Chain A
Amino acid sequence: MPAIRNQIRELRAQREITQQELADQVGVTRQTVIAIEQDKYSPSLETAFKVAIVLGVPLEQCFQYDPQGKR
């Protein structure tokens, strides 16, 4: 399991936001959103906050840190 996991896909689906729409609002590429959702890329703190703001949830509801996870 990765050290940083996220619920972006689920939150995005609930709000009916596409990957491209989220990417545009956060200011990243759609490929970066895909990589984050697949837990292959851990975003910077700034991007993580922006994602949480766009999805309208606190940061910890969007991203979770697992100390036992693989970095």
Chain B
Amino acid sequence: MSTSLSYREKTLYASLAAEILVYGPYFFLHQQNSVNKVAGMIVSIIVLQMILQLLIAAFTRNHVTDERDRLIELRGYRAGYLAIASLMVIGLGMLWFHATIGNHRLDNRMMGLHFLSVFFGMLIIADITKTATQILAYRKAL
């Protein structure tokens, strides 16, 4: 029995590919992150997502989404929320640790950029978790 991908599933694969393509090099190749790079990443992901979604819409005949799609979407958002909430707790714990026990100074510019990078990373991990959970739900039939 054939279980070809639905329109919604194709868009999820495209989202995941765009996220890995754009965010991967940012975190693994650049050691010095900056506000401009973060802004660049956000613009890149939006443009890439738009191009991919337009291509999928153009080459897919059936654009129907139904109750199962909405249920899977909610599951993805729940997983994404759990991921970001957990990472926030860990991040705040580490911040507290460095501020009280460690000897890091939290008032310099580099530290600000470091936090920007860390929180941006948390958002990306949560977003990838959301998309991956949705893909997994589709592959398991729910």
Contact = CB atoms under 8 A, between A and B. Distances in A.
Interface stretch (B28-36, B63-71, B81-89, B98-106): B63-71
Contacts of A29: 6-8, 62, 64-66, 68-69
Given A40-B140, A40-B142, A41-B142, A31 B65 contact: no
A47 interface: yes
A32 B8 CA distance: 12
* Interface size band for A: 10 to 19
A40 B139 CA distance: 11
B69 to A, nearest CB: 7
Interface string A22-65: 01000111111011001011011001000000000000000000
Given A28-B68, A30-B6, A31-B141, 18 more contacts: A23-B64, A28-B66, A28-B67, A30-B4, A31-B3, A31-B5, A31-B68, A31-B138, A32-B69, A35-B68, A35-B141, A38-B141, A40-B142, A41-B142, A43-B68, A44-B67, A47-B66, A47-B67
Interface of B: 1, 3-9, 62, 64-69, 138, 140-142
